[in-house]
């Protein structure tokens, strides 16, 4: 289970250190792809296989289902950790996520989100959290 947030830098070659706490859960091989809200998603193999199966079951005849699947699958690539615990983030994914130097890695239970620091700050001000928490009741989450 992934939890917590970590600030790191991505080097000029596009390499990113994965925090040791996350490396244990990820294993040696995993998948990185475009994520929602302008970030990247990193999935361990087992979680990716479950997600892949859900995408596979979407109706091919539905235009939004095809677009949704394309968004995640066309951008997906398998990654391995190097000896220093880094991954190489492909250029197209760095460009999609607006990454150049500082990044935030956020544990989200079954995946890791990787954000440019600027987008993280812009998307994660928690001033409206009371309102959001109240709306979560409509989704079945009660406190």
Q: What is the CATH number of domain 5-139?
A: 3.40.1550.20
pLDDT value at residue 140 = 87
Orientation angle between helical segments 63-73 and 45-56, nearest 10 degrees? 160
CA angle, 5 as apex, 3 and 10 as ends, to 5°?
Answer: 125
Buried b (16+ CB within 10 A) or exposed e, 68-97: ebeebeebbeebebeeeebbbbbeebbebb
Going from N- to C-terminal start, the domains of the chain cover 5-139
Dihedral (CA of 61, 65, 71, 76) sign: negative
Q: What is the pTM of this model?
A: 0.93
Give mean pLDDT in consecutive 10-residue pieces for the chain, a chain of 143 residues: 96 96 93 98 98 97 97 96 96 97 97 98 87 86 79
CA 78 to chain CA mean position, Å: 13
pLDDT value at residue 52 = 97
End-to-end CA distance of the chain: 21
Q: Is 5:108 a contact under the CB 8 Å cutoff?
A: no
pLDDT value at residue 137 = 86
Q: Quick one: which H or E segment has residue 131?
A: helix 129-136
Report d(CA 40, CA 128) in Å as an integer: 24
pLDDT value at residue 131 = 87
């Amino acid at each position: 289970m992934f939890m917590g947030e970590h600030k790191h830098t991505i080097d000029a070659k596009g390499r990113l250190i994965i925090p040791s706490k996350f490396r244990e859960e990820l294993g040696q091989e995993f998948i990185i792809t475009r994520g929602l809200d302008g970030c990247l998603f990193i999935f361990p193999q087992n979680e990716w296989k479950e997600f892949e199966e859900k995408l596979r079951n979407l109706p091919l005849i539905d235009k939004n289902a095809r677009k949704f699947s394309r968004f995640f699958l066309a951008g997906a690539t398998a990654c391995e950790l190097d000896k220093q615990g880094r991954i190489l983030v492909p250029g197209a994914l760095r460009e999609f996520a607006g990454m150049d130097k500082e990044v935030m890695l956020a544990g989200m239970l079954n995946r890791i989100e990787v954000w440019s620091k600027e987008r993280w700050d812009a998307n994660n001000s928690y001033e409206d959290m009371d309102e959001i928490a109240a709306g979560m009741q409509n989704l079945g989450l009660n406190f």
